[in-house]
Amino acid sequence: MTHKPYVICAILSTIFLTGSSMQQSILGTTKPNVNFYGKLETHQGNVYSVENITINSMFRQIPVYEVPKITTDEHILDLAKGYDKAELDLAEMSEIAVPNQQAIWTVIETRNKRKHEKKFIEIQVTYKDKTERHYLIQENSKIGCDQIMTSGPIEIEKNISIIAIKTLNIEGFKYRDIGKQQEQDKKTTNNPSK
């Protein structure tokens, strides 16, 4: 019985710390406390200034496979034969490009003696030191971001398929002050004209 206050205190601390490091978006997704911003161009020719960039709601430790050096026209990667897995961090990159949206890879994973196939697409990552690497990321991956409108403080939340991206330039990042943002959100919600 004497442990109850400690348990309650631990639970409340966890709730407070979790809530203070993330910002809730209108769609219910959480935005990280680091705001990556830049320019996004789609294969359809649309160009946007964006911020709050994530890949599959992540900005670090994004799982990808390195493109094999020896490839065939079939674009098949069988994980049972070995593979190089990597994790991407947006803070280390300057650009992500999808050079060929038609080149779909099949990644085969064997689990419980059964083969499972997933579709992947090749991305070209340019790091800040100008090094270029090619990776495979799941075809259904999404770039989450907010389009910055030139007409004012309005932002449009976007969730764009990775396959639609031509280039995503990451120009920088800044840390979000969650307390100020939550206060501003309350003011905007209570009085939308501000």
For the stretch 40-58, pLDDT in tens is 999 999 999 999 999 999 9
- C-alpha angle 118/122/124, rounded to 5°? 150
pLDDT at 189: 43
| Residue the block writes with tokens 């259904």 | 140
Q: What is the mean pLDDT of residues 72-85?
A: 79
Higher pLDDT, 11 or 131: 131
Please report which confidence band the pLDDT of residue 191 belongs to, taking 50, 70 and 90 as the band edges: very low
As a whole number, the mean pLDDT across the chain is 80
List C-alpha distances in Å: 131 to 57, 84, 93, 94: 25, 18, 9, 10
Please report which confidence band the pLDDT of residue 2 belongs to, taking 50, 70 and 90 as the band edges: low
pLDDT at 143: 96
Convert the pLDDT of each residue in 66-77 to its tens digit.
988 776 667 888
Domain ranges across the chain: 23-176
pTM summary value: 0.73
- In angstroms, rounded to a whole number, what is the distance separating the alpha carbons of residues 13 and 163? 40
